[in-house]
């Protein structure tokens, strides 16, 4: 019942109003506003890392053994690690790594998933059937497991971890795009293009794709939190970033030898992951709430 009212409401003047509404609703909720600010802040930190970090050289291989495993102090805000490196500086550089790798991994997944989905939905028939069965197979692996296996066989490195995540993540986007494409295909302008004899490839990439991108972009931005978590998990297992990269998951992994006597070593990188992922998830939740007419608050 409510859905019908909101439909009528939306039809009044879609487009611009929709965008305004979304921003308004996201901005109205204090938590989501805070998350937007946190994400903006993290992006700034990632970009300005070399200038913000008190000891930029500590981020990678420089060592400082005389200050090893010091608790947080005014000199080392978050303490130091087993090689005497400033944890605060390393976590700041870690922001850069996490955001970058997450973006690249999601981007790669989009690069594989989107064209496949457009082709499946655009062409239909056995091509569609084949591509969808392939996504079925990929999605029937437990989450993370496929990424672990691929990363292990590609060889442990951050680049391979990104690739592994992309390979295990793309089917989600294929499914969304395919669903969208099927409904767009039925629309008049696509039929018109077919009628004047435009080739299918052109129709798919000129007409169908642009009209299906919006929901996928939304989904991809909501996925960033999960991807950051996955990268950290791979690094924790030793399949992602390798020392001396200051990746958060790797920091926690190395801290395991020392953390019982150096609580700060595991605690701070974990908080960094938590805050980042939480901010992305809250925004994702907000977007979903706003886009869904059932849960939408007027």
Partner 1 sequence: MSAYFEIKDLLVGFRTFEETRPVLNIERLAIERGETYGLVGESGAGKTVLALTILGLLPKPAGVIQRGEIWFDGEDLLKKSESELASLYRGKRLAMIFQDPMSTLNPVFTVGQQIERVIEYHQGLRGHSRTQKAVELLEMVKLADAKNILKKYPHELSGGQRQRVVIAIALSCGAEFLIADEPTRNLDVTIQAGILQLIDELRKNLRITVLFIANNVSLVNVFCKRVGILYRGKLVEEGPSPLVIREPLHPYTQTLISALPRDRSERPRFSGFELKPEAPQGCPFYSRCPIGVEFCVQQQPRLEAVIRPEHKAACFLARSR
Partner 2 sequence: MLRFILRRLILGGVVMFGVALVTFFIARVIPSDPAAKWAGPRATPEQIAKARAELGLDQPLIIQFGTYLLDLAQGNLGYSLRTRRPVALELAESLPATIELVLISTFAAVFIGLPLGVLSAKYKDRLVDHLSRLFSIGAVSLPTFWIGLILQLLFARTLQWFPMGGQLSTEIKLTMEIPRITGFLTLDSLISGNFVILLDALWHLVLPGITIGVYPVGLVARMTRSALLEILSEDYITAARSYGLQERVILWSYALKNSLGPTSTVVALSIGYTLVNTFLTETIFTWPGIGSYVATAVIGLDYPAIMGVTIFSAFSYVVLNLISDLIVALDPRVRMS
Contacts with partner 1 by CB under 8 A lie at 1-2, 5, 8-9, 21, 24-25, 297-298
118 binds partner 2 (CB under 8 A): no
Quote the tokens at residue 174: 């294929």
148 neighbors 237 (Cβ within 8 angstroms)? yes
Beta bridge partners of 86: 80
Task: Choose the one of partner 2, partner 1, none that binds residue 9, judging by a C-beta under 5 to 8 angstroms depending on kind.
Answer: partner 1
For residues 224 and 273, give the distance between their C-alpha atoms in angstroms, rounded to a whole number: 12
Is-cis flag, bond preceding 244, omega within 30?
yes
**Minimum CB separation from partner 2 for residue 152, in Å?**
5
Backbone angles phi, psi at 202, to 5 degrees: -65, -40
2 binds partner 2 (CB under 8 A): yes
Among 31, 34, 44, 47, binds partner 2 (CB under 8 A): 31
**Minimum CB separation from partner 2 for residue 106, in Å?**
17
Question: CB atoms < 10 A from the CB of 126, how many?
Answer: 8
34 binds partner 2 (CB under 8 A): no
77 binds partner 2 (CB under 8 A): no
Location of structure tokens 């950290």: 232
252 neighbors 269 (Cβ within 8 angstroms)? yes
Backbone angles phi, psi at 251, to 5 degrees: -55, -45
Question: CB atoms < 10 A from the CB of 18, how many?
Answer: 13
* Binding track, positions 155-184, relative to partner 2; x by CB under 8 A: -x----------------------------
Location of structure tokens 């005389």: 66
Binding-residue total with partner 2 (CB under 8 A): 53
Among 3, 37, 44, 48, binds partner 2 (CB under 8 A): 3
**Minimum CB separation from partner 2 for residue 149, in Å?**
4
Among 123, 149, 182, 193, binds partner 2 (CB under 8 A): 149
3-state secondary structure of 220: helix
Select 203 or 241, whichever has its Cβ closest to partner 2. 241
Select 1 or 196, whichever has its Cβ closest to partner 1. 1
Task: Choose the one of partner 2, partner 1, none that binds residue 15, judging by a C-beta under 5 to 8 angstroms depending on kind.
Answer: none
For residues 23 and 207, give the distance between their C-alpha atoms in angstroms, rounded to a whole number: 27
Stretch that binds partner 2, among 42-50, 112-120, 151-159, 213-221 (CB under 8 A): 151-159
Select 12 or 196, whichever has its Cβ closest to partner 1. 12
**Exposed, middle or buried, 134 (CB in 10 Å: 0-12/13-18/19+)?**
middle
**Which residues lie closer than 8 Å to 10 by C-beta, 6 or more apart?**
17, 18, 293
* Residues near partner 2, by CB under 8 A: 1-3, 31, 133-134, 136-138, 140-146, 148-150, 152-154, 156, 225, 229, 232-233, 236-239, 249, 252-253, 255-256, 259-260, 263, 266-267, 269-270, 273-274, 277-278, 281-282, 285, 294-295, 297
């Amino acid at each position: 019942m409510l859905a019908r009212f909101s439909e009528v409401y939306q039809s009044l003047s879609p487009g611009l109003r929709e965008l305004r509404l979304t921003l308004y609703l996201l901005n109205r909720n204090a938590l989501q506003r805070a998350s937007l600010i946190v994400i903006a802040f993290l992006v700034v930190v990632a970009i300005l890392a070399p200038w913000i970090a008190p000891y930029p050289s500590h981020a990678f291989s420089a060592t400082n053994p005389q200050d090893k495993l010091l608790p947080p102090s005014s000199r080392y805000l978050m303490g130091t690690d087993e090689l005497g490196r400033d944890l605060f500086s390393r976590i700041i550089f870690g922001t850069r790594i996490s955001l970058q790798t997450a973006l690249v991994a999601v981007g790669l997944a989009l690069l594989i998933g989107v064209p496949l989905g457009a082709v499946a939905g655009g062409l239909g028939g056995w091509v569609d059937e084949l591509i969808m069965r392939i996504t079925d197979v990929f999605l029937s692996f437990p989450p993370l497991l496929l990424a672990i296996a691929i990363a292990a066989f590609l060889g442990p490195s951050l680049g391979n971890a990104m690739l592994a995540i992309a390979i295990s993540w793309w089917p989600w986007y294929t499914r969304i795009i395919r669903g969208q494409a099927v409904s767009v295909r039925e629309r008049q302008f696509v039929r018109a293009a077919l009628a004047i004899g435009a080739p299918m490839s052109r129709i798919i990439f000129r007409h169908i794709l642009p009209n299906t991108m919006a929901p996928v972009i939304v989904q991809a931005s909501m996925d960033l939190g999960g991807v950051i978590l996955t990268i950290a998990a791979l690094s924790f297992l030793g399949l992602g970033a390798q020392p001396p990269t200051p990746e958060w998951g790797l920091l926690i992994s190395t801290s395991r030898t020392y953390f019982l006597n150096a609580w700060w070593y595991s605690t701070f990188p974990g908080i960094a992951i938590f805050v980042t992922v939480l901010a992305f998830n809250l925004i994702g939740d907000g977007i979903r709430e706003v886009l869904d007419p059932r849960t939408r608050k007027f």
